[in-house]
Amino acid sequence: MSKKITLEQIAAAAKSLGVSIPALRAVMQVECKQDGFLSTGEPVILFERHVFYRLCDSKARDAAYKQRSDICSPSAGGYGLISAQHGRLQAACSYDRTAALQSASWGLGQVMGYHWESLGYESLQAFINAMYRGESEQLDAMCRFIRVNHLIDELQRRDWAGFARRYNGPAYAQNRYDQKLARAYSLMGGK
């Protein structure tokens, strides 16, 4: 069974949300270049050191910040290459595994691990397992996030700024997520 998503699965997900296929594909393109796995077979992730700093218990945080500020810092950034993200995650797991897994964004939709419970997963590990199973499961997590956070209307209206603000956070404009979504939507055949 392939881990790759099919156009039919994307179409079904778009229909279940009541949004256009180009709108859903635009989000996938901006978040993950429409590829949920690395060549190693691991899901694409982005490890967020500032989230790890916030989620760690104080003892682990103090040790990690002192020894590895590249994986634990109150400031965002320091991401490095996409290919280095799993190594950063593994290093963080040696300090606090639960906080580390919750501090990465996962798969096609780059959904943060700390959302596992609000998205209806049985456990953090169930969420992680789903991210490893395939892109269709990654898309399911993204669609759950869109539903739970009431973002369907923004996708239907193509309110890219409204969607990006709530999907990517208040720094969305700094990173031009709204402009990237509008451009991706156009490239995906949206009108």
Same domain, 49 and 83: yes
Same domain, 30 and 51: no
Position 151 in a domain: yes
Position 115 in a domain: no
Q: Tell me the three state secondary structure of residue 37.
A: strand
Same domain, 29 and 62: no
Please state the φ and ψ torsions of residue 42, each to the nearest 5 degrees.
Answer: -85, 150
DSSP state letter for 63? H
Same domain, 80 and 51: yes
Position 116 in a domain: no
Number of domains in the chain: 2
Choose one of 86, 106, 126: the last residue of a domain.
106
Q: Are 72 and 49 within 8 A, CB to CB?
A: yes
Per-residue pLDDT tens for 134-174? Answer: 999 999 999 999 999 999 999 999 999 999 999 999 889 99
Chain-centre distance for alpha carbon 152: 17
Laid out side by side, the sheet with 104-106 consists of 45-47, 104-106, 111-112
Q: Are 185 and 158 within 8 A, CB to CB?
A: yes
Task: Report which residue type is found at 64.
Answer: A
Position 125 in a domain: no
Predicted TM-score of the model (pTM): 0.95
Per-residue pLDDT tens for 64-104? Answer: 999 999 999 999 999 999 999 999 999 999 999 999 999 99
Same domain, 49 and 30: no
Position 152 in a domain: yes
Same domain, 102 and 54: yes
The whole domain housing 52 covers: 45-106
Indicate if the pLDDT at residue 1 is higher than 70. no
Q: What is the Cα–Cα distance from 26 to 188, expressed in whole angstroms?
A: 7
Same domain, 29 and 53: no
Same domain, 179 and 145: yes
Position 121 in a domain: no
Same domain, 24 and 50: no
Per-residue pLDDT tens for 4-38? Answer: 999 999 999 999 999 999 999 999 999 998 699 99
Position 141 in a domain: yes
Q: Tell me the three state secondary structure of residue 12.
A: helix
Q: Are 69 and 52 within 8 A, CB to CB?
A: no
Same domain, 67 and 91: yes
Position 120 in a domain: no
Mean pLDDT of the chain: 96
Chain-centre distance for alpha carbon 95: 22
Indicate if the pLDDT at residue 2 is higher than 90. no
- How many CB atoms are located within 10 Å of the residue 26 CB? 27
Q: What is the Cα–Cα distance from 110 to 150, expressed in whole angstroms?
A: 17
Same domain, 31 and 81: no
